[in-house]
Amino acid sequence: MTAPDATGQTEIAASPEAVYAFLSDPARMSEIAEETVKVLRRDSTAGQTGSRFLGVNRNGRRVWPTIGKVTDADSARRFAFEVEAVPGVPVARWQYDIEPTAAGCRVVESTWDKRPRWFVPATRPITGVADRVSVNARNIETTLARLKARLETGAQA
């Protein structure tokens, strides 16, 4: 796999198992993500490889759906999913790597832009984002800060 288009990391004073449990539940992740604000539907195997979910994303007044499919579900180590705009049109890969540390764990969040070149111009008016890489880098920073706050203090960051 190529290098991610955007990535960030944080240290969290929580067990890798607790972090993984949070990250592998798309509905809970929507509580702290910057753009994904709700998960409307997920199948009964949520969080397992092959499971799917429908996400609702928001940027200001713009709202759009995405379809997520879990590709990696390695307990306490890695959780990843691929996102499509509509079936068969890839958008991105999101990946969370969890490494144990003496005080808890390190979480690395990464994303790869998987949009076909022909689809990139079509996404701008839908999402309101011209520079997806910069926006994703900021969103990763925000999401990781919220994850840390939620798991260390239970705060709503």
Q: Is the pTM of this model over 0.75?
A: yes
CA 15 from centre of chain: 19
pLDDT tens, position by position, 99-130: 999 999 999 999 999 999 999 999 999 999 99
Specify the DSSP element, H or E, that contains 125: helix 120-127
Axis-axis angle for helices 16-23, 132-153 (nearest 10): 130
Using an 8 Å Cβ cutoff, are 106 and 140 in contact? no
What average pLDDT does the segment 1-14 reach?
96
Distance (Å, whole) CA 52 – CA 43: 6
Q: Which residues share a beta bridge with 53?
A: 42, 68
- Please report the domains of the chain, with CATH numbers, ordered by start residue: 6-153 (3.30.530.20)
Distance (Å, whole) CA 6 – CA 140: 8
The two tokens of residue 50 are 């092959």
